[in-house]
């Protein structure tokens, strides 16, 4: 944690209704009983009586009202929190996207402002909102989650608490109307909240928790070695290179490479190759697509480059060797033509040139489709 910066504690679950907000409010009440100055900056009760009862007696700051397209929306008032300057602030629904006209686009950006001012933050999110898992959630649940948080934002948290509940118990809570009102509960149980989907999401969350523990232990050990003057490492460091193309699959490729990079502690590059060294000569649609992919990679704190080269394959492999890349991530082409040696596609040429590196060819994941996809409710963040 940076000097003077507040501490971030995330209460994470695998689905709505496991009890994250309830646990956050329990902790807030415990802090208040110890005379810690704690306020609620934003709280979304979703009509859940037990959760609402937990908020009683805690100071709740008013929300900011923002007009947009003829309606008035309520968002967390970051300026009011800064003016109040509590020691600890509860901020529900960390992945939330603010209404247009707000000072910042995402609630996690508001939280960064609070942390930079020295305020500790307790917040909540579900595993489905972690950016690098977006494709896996799509495959498991058949839903493309729109509100995501870059992995680095979550990884900087001082503490992550996994709030767990067995899928059977969660289904029972939904059936009893504890999580949603009856009509929405019935639709949820037919779709996103099927027990098989919840089991898969829970396993994903538990693996993420195990990885987080391992990652922190490794970082602590590395810090100790450095402090003891024994920071030299003899093993080869992993570096990952992603080829950026206009294809939609590139976003999936970036997420996959980032996730692998986090597990390996690897540096990542996202690279496009153009004859001019920039995107000026591309058709508008291709230029916008590549710019979007590169911006997406930067948002995940991946280093980006646009290389100058007439031929993509040798330009990419030369850059990889020069930067000691160990793995190159490519999206699988829609059509394979291994049997035609005189008509090699780009992936085949890169594989042949990069024999001293591992080339990972990633296929898009197919989602598990629901019986009635149009009726699938987007799961809330609580």
Sole residue written with tokens 């247009």: 100
Comparison of pLDDT for 53 and 1, the residue scoring more: 53
**pLDDT reading at 186 higher than 90:** no
Neighbouring-strand partners of residue 72:
67
- Superfamily of domain 8-217 in the CATH hierarchy: P-loop containing nucleotide triphosphate hydrolases (3.40.50.300)
| Cα 337 to Cα 327: distance, rounded to the nearest angstrom | 23
Measure Cα distances from 7 to 114, 210, 307, 365, 368 in Å: 10, 21, 40, 37, 38
pLDDT of residue 254: 94
Q: Are 15 and 195 in contact (CB under 8 A)?
A: no
Q: Are 382 and 128 in contact (CB under 8 A)?
A: no
Q: What is the pLDDT of residues 25-40, one digit of tens each?
A: 999 999 999 999 999 9
Q: What is the pLDDT of residues 123-145, one digit of tens each?
A: 999 999 999 898 888 888 888 89
Ranges of CATH 3.40.50.620 domains, the chain: 236-362
pLDDT of residue 227: 62
Confidence of residue 217 (pLDDT cuts 50, 70, 90): low
Comparison of pLDDT for 364 and 338, the residue scoring more: 364
Across residues 178-200, what is the average pLDDT? 87
pLDDT of residue 340: 40
Measure Cα distances from 323 to 109, 235, 257, 354, 358 in Å: 33, 16, 17, 13, 14
Comparison of pLDDT for 5 and 366, the residue scoring more: 5
Q: What is the pLDDT of residues 273-303, one digit of tens each?
A: 999 999 999 999 999 999 999 999 999 999 9
Ranges of CATH 3.40.50.300 domains, the chain: 8-217
Percent of the chain surpassing pLDDT 70: 85
- The CATH number fitting domain 236-362, selected from 3.40.50.620, 1.20.1250.20, 3.40.50.920, 3.40.350.10: 3.40.50.620
Comparison of pLDDT for 276 and 229, the residue scoring more: 276
């Amino acid at each position: 944690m940076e000097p003077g910066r507040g501490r971030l504690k995330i209460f994470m679950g695998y689905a709505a209704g496991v009890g994250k907000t309830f646990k956050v409010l329990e902790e807030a009440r415990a802090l208040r009983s110890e005379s810690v100055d704690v306020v609620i900056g934003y709280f979304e009760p979703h009509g859940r009586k037990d959760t609402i009862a937990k908020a009683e007696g805690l100071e709740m700051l008013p929300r900011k009202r923002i007009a947009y397209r003829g309606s008035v929306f309520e968002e967390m008032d970051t300026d009011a929190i800064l003016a109040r300057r509590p020691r600890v602030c509860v901020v529900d629904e960390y992945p939330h996207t603010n209404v247009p006209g707000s000072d910042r686009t995402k609630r996690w950006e508001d939280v960064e402002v609070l942390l930079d001012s020295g305020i500790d933050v307790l917040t909540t999110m579900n595993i489905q909102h972690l950016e690098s898992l977006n494709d896996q959630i799509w495959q498991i649940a058949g839903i493309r989650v729109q509100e995501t948080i870059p992995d680095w934002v979550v990884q900087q948290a001082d503490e992550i608490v996994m709030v767990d509940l067995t899928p059977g118990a969660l289904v029972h809570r939904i059936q009893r109307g504890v999580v949603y009102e009856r009509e929405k509960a019935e639709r949820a149980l037919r779709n996103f909240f099927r027990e098989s989907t919840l089991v898969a999401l829970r396993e994903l969350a538990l693996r993420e928790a195990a990885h987080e523990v391992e990652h922190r232990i490794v970082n602590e050990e590395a810090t100790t070695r450095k402090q003891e003057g024994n920071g030299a490492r003899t093993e080869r460091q992993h570096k990952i290179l992603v080829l950026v193309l206009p294809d939609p699959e590139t976003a999936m490729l970036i997420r996959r490479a980032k996730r692998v990079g986090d597990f390996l502690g690897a540096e990542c590059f996202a690279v496009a190759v153009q004859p001019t060294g920039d995107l000026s000569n591309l058709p508008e649609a291709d230029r916008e697509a590549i710019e979007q992919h590169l911006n997406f990679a930067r948002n995940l704190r991946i280093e980006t480059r646009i290389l100058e080269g007439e031929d993509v394959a040798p330009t990419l492999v030369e850059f990889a060797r020069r930067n000691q890349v160990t793995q190159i991530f490519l999206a699988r082409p829609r059509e394979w033509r291994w049997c035609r040696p005189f008509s090699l596609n780009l992936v085949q040429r890169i594989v042949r040139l990069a024999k001293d590196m591992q080339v990972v060819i990633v296929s898009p994941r197919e989602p598990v489709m629901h019986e009635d996809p149009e009726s699938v409710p987007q799961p809330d963040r609580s």
